[in-house]
Amino acid sequence: MTPEEIQNERLKLAANWFNTLATGVLTAGLFVPAAQFLFGVLPANTDFGLVYATGGVCIVAGVGLHFMGQWTLGGLE
């Protein structure tokens, strides 16, 4: 492999890492508020505003991480 091909593969792996991390953050951030809303899995004294706000933060963070992966792919030669 040429040095350019090696660099491209490293960039692809980094972009894949960002995208996989984004998927995990989105999954965790959406699962807990959805489970609370549908099944009431958290204790009664839990601040639900905090649960839903954390879900919103996870959505924004997941989308941001996905775009970081896209930005990383912009460096391909």
pLDDT at position 77, please?
79
> ∠ at Cα 53 (33, 49), nearest 5°?
80
First-residue to last-residue Cα distance in the chain: 14
> Which residue bears the tokens 């609370």?
36
pTM exceeds cut of 0.75 = yes
Q: Where are the beta strands (DSSP E) in the chain?
A: none
Tens digit of pLDDT at every position of the chain (77 positions)? 999 999 999 999 999 999 999 999 999 999 989 998 899 888 989 898 999 999 999 999 999 999 999 999 998 87
Report d(CA 22, CA 25) in Å as an integer: 5
| Residue 53 token pair | 């706000």
